[in-house]
Every structure is written in C-alpha cells, then in structure tokens.
Amino acid sequence: MKLCMIGTGYVGLTTGVCLAYLDNNVICVDRDKDRIGLLKKGVMPIHEEGLAEFMQQGVSKGRLEFSEDLGYGVTNADIIFITVGTPSVNGGEVDLTAVKEVAGGIAKCMDSYKIIVVKSTVPVGTQRLVTGIIADNLKGRSNFDVVSNPEFLREGNAVYDTLHPDRVVLGSDNFKAAKVLAGLYMPMGGRMVFTDPESAEMIKYASNAFLATKISFINEIANLCEKVGADVTKVALGMGLDSRISMDFLEAGLGYGGSCFPKDTLALITLADRHGCSLKTVKSAIEINESQRMKPVKMLQDCLGNLEGRKICILGLSFKPNTDDVRQAPSIDIIREIIRLGGRVTACDPIAIPNAGKVLDGVEFCEDTYQAAEGADAIVLVTQWNQFKKLDLAKIRKIMKRPVFIDGRNVYDVDTMLKLGFEYYSIGRRNYG
C-alpha cells in the first residue's frame, strides 16, 4: 500500500519505518527541516532498539523516503496517517493546533479518495473535528474517510509493539474504510477491534489511565509494606499470579513518567470535569505518583540530614530503560530538589545525558558509573538500566564517601547489600540504615 506519515516523532517514525519493513511504500513527512535532513542522511533522531536498522533497510529497498513537502506525501498515498504531537497545555487541555493544521493541509492537497487515519493521541471528538475540517477545506472535490486508530506503543519497545500488537483499534462510521486499514495491519496479527470513533479515542485514554492507576496502587501498597514489615516484591508476586490481575505494571518504584501517562491522565480528568464527571480514582493516581517520585529525597534527608554540600550520585536519567526520553522523568524532579536543598549532583545514564542536559543545570554528567559514584555521600538508583543491575558493588562501596544506597527500583537483594556494608534503602521493603 502507498502510505504517508505526517509527523516523525516516536509514533510516526516507528510506525512508518515498520510498515515499510512490511513492504509498503511509505513517505514520512515533517515540516522540521533539520529532522528531515538527519533522516535523509540516515541519522535516527530517537533511540529505539532496531529502528535505525529497519530504516536503512527500508530506504535501500526504495520503500521508505522522507520529505518536507506535505503535498507530495498526500498526493502519492492512499492512506494518510496523522501522527503529530498533541502536547498538554493549561493543566490538562490537549493542544490540537498541529492536528488541525495538518487536517486543513491534507484537504488542500487531496485530488482523489483518501483514508485519513488519526493516530495521534487525541481527545474524544477529534475524529469528528478532523472530518469537519477536511470537508470544509475540500469543498467536495473528492471523497474521503477518517478512521481513529490509537497507538499503544511503549517507548523502548516500540518496534516490537508495532510489529506484534495485542490489538488494533479502528474507529470509523464507514466499516469499509476500517476494513481497508485492517488489511494493512493483518500481517502483524493482533485482534481487530472495530468500533465508533468516540469509543476508539476513549480506549486509548482509559487504557493509559488504568495502567497509571495500577502503578500508583502498588506504590501505595509499597509505602504500607514499609510500615508493617512486609515485602512489596513478594506481595506483588502473590497478587500478579492471579490471572485477573497479572504482573504487568505491578512493580513498586518511583512512579511513572514519559510523554504518555502524565499527559493522558490529565487530559482524561479535564474531559471528565468538562462533562460534570469526577474521576476520583485517576486523580488519586496522579497525586500518588507526584509524591512517590520525591521519596528518595526524603530518604536522603532521613539518613544524611542537611543535604547542603553533600555529593549525591544519580544512576539513570531516562524515565525508563531503553529510551533516551527524559520527559516527566522522576530523575529530573529528584535532581532539581536535591540541588534546591544545596546538594551536589553527579549523574550517569547510557544514552539520556544529552537530553537531560537540555533541561538540567548544575549537574556533573558522567558516562562512567564509577566516576559518578566516587566520593559520593549517597547513590540513588532511579532507572533500572542493565548496566546498573550489574555493578561491582564491592568497588562502589569502597569508592563512596558514605555507603548510602537508595534503590528506587528494588534492583538489589537486601541481604546482599547489607553484607557488603551498605546503608540500604529500597521501595516497599524493610529499610536498614
């Protein structure tokens, strides 16, 4: 099939590259000249395992190309995907400026029937909005259909999730158009869910809100476990083995971050408030998440007292492993608070240092873990990268000024850390200072 992806962020670029890998002809369009320039040179602007290799393969086969020209992409495609950003503004409202501009631009370039796919995460009612904008600008020159097709990609696993979806949601008033899109996804497998546009849009928000709530729930249980002497890792295991619950998103830690859960939960609450509904569960999940990420700072104060002049080593900057994304990452809030309290911060991350450097001041970034930890009064493990799971702990203990180790992801065994002489603190397990 001939496809056009408008927007080359995580969703658009990953989807476009993977669909080209499946032998479709894909044109990825973006008005960002620098980004398109990098892509034309074969430089991948985001970190996703396997994506660069798939991109090179698609280009070499003539299946994948990049352009700044919206008209070129639209006229040479049968299916057009809208994958532009929809940032959060005013405490929860979704900015649809880019979606509206793209919809109008598509209409002005159309010369034949097209299927337009809204894949960006958008509020309920956006498919109707896009349909209206295109119809107004098209002025009857040709026919079209708009399908809501939300994405469910996990950063760091986006290639796998694209090629192995557990479900594909297609929301449209025209079943025939939805079936065409289903044919595009058929080689990937996954259950097809055909529904109305409003339900498709709601499925995305409801899914993310539920997962965010699950994370906040286990973190709240973890806080109680610390008080009563229980071990949250064992509690989560006992819960997760129940098929009705499952282990997914049931790991206690420092809460969720990234570009999706924080934005989507706020957007859902804003939508509910506008319609006179109060989503108390989701509101509580957000409140718990915001307080959870500050837990390491409280632990530091409890064991070190005043943080003025203390050297704190932060291990992990990205909001999760296998991505360089630091948007809404717990590390950012933790580091800023430590610095506000007078602490000195060294930070290490395999790939997220460049992005963290754009939003953080006063931090000494180190590519080497042991350099970052040398002379530290405490270490805070924030992101469970593999390299931080395999530390030479004896060496770490020796080079630290004081062996305070705050394990924000419960990576290490409590008894092992105590035998090595650490003052070890973790989440939802008995802590030993």
Active site residues: 260
Q: Is 311 helix (H, G, I), strand (E, B) or coil?
A: strand
- What is the rounded distance in angstroms from the CA atom of residue 229 to the CA atom of residue 417? 18
Q: Which residues contact 304 (CB under 8 A, 6 or more apart)?
A: 310, 377, 378, 402, 404
Question: Cα torsion at 240, 242, 243, 246 (round to 10°)?
Answer: -10
Which is nearest to 367 in space by CA: 378, 375, 377, 357? 357
What does the alpha-carbon distance between residue 78 and residue 182 come to, in Å, rounded to a whole number? 14
Spatial separation of the C-alpha atoms in residues 379 and 388, rounded to whole Å: 11
Region label for 87, one of left (φ > 0), alpha (ψ between -120 and 50) or beta (otherwise): beta
Query: What six digits make up the tokens of 431?
Result: 């802590």
Which 3 state secondary structure label does DSSP give 124? coil
List the structure tokens of 283: 């509101």
| Residue located via tokens 């080079």 | 399
H-type alpha helices, 275-385: 280-292, 295-304, 330-340, 353-357, 369-373
For residue 88, the cross-strand partners are 94
Cβ atoms within 10 Å of 132's Cβ, excluding its own: 12
